[in-house]
Amino acid sequence: MKRRSEPVPLSLIFSALSDPVRLEIVQVLLKERELPCGHCRTGLSKSTMSHHFKVLREAGIIRKRADGKTHHISIVVEELEARLPGLLKAIRKAGGPL
């Protein structure tokens, strides 16, 4: 997995979190730790969910891990806590569907 040499701009992180679907994905992942991509949300097309995952990955919020044909996603907790202390706690506290 390639690492970024420069931190993601804060505007990209907050822009990614401004979408209710992506914020809900983050809330689910905070509860579940890691999930296969297909188990994160129902009712939206696979291509729509792929777009949301891509935005979250590019913003440095989640990572993807391949396990055969299945891809698992999880939050990059340590990196986000180091950069934005308390952000994940606030998202967790907001809880529930938006």
In a domain, 82, yes or no: yes
Residue 72, classed as helix, strand or coil, is strand
Q: Look at residue 98 and tell me if it is in a domain.
A: no
Inside any domain, residue 20: yes
Q: For residue 62, what is the enclosing H or E element?
A: strand 62-67
Amino acid identity of residue 8, one-letter, is V
Q: Does residue 2 lie in a domain region?
A: no
4: in domain: no
**C-alpha dihedral (20, 55, 49, 32), degrees to nearest 10:** -70
What pLDDT band is residue 97 in, cutting at 50, 70 and 90? low
pLDDT in tens, 7-63: 888 999 999 999 998 998 999 899 888 888 777 766 788 888 889 999 999 999 999
88 and 30 Cβ atoms separated by less than 8 Å: yes
Q: Is residue 74 part of a domain?
A: yes
- Is residue 67 a part of any domain in this protein? yes
Look at residue 1 and tell me if it is in a domain. no
Domain containing 82 equals 10-93
Q: What is the pLDDT of residue 37?
A: 78
Look at residues 68, 69, 77 and name the one whose alpha carbon lies nearest to residue 32: 77
Q: Which residue has the higher pLDDT, 1 or 52?
A: 52
pTM of the model: 0.83
Domain count, the chain: 1
Helix (H, G, I), strand (E, B) or coil at 5: coil
CATH number of the domain within which 56 lies: 1.10.10.10
With cut-offs at 50, 70 and 90, classify the pLDDT of residue 1: very low
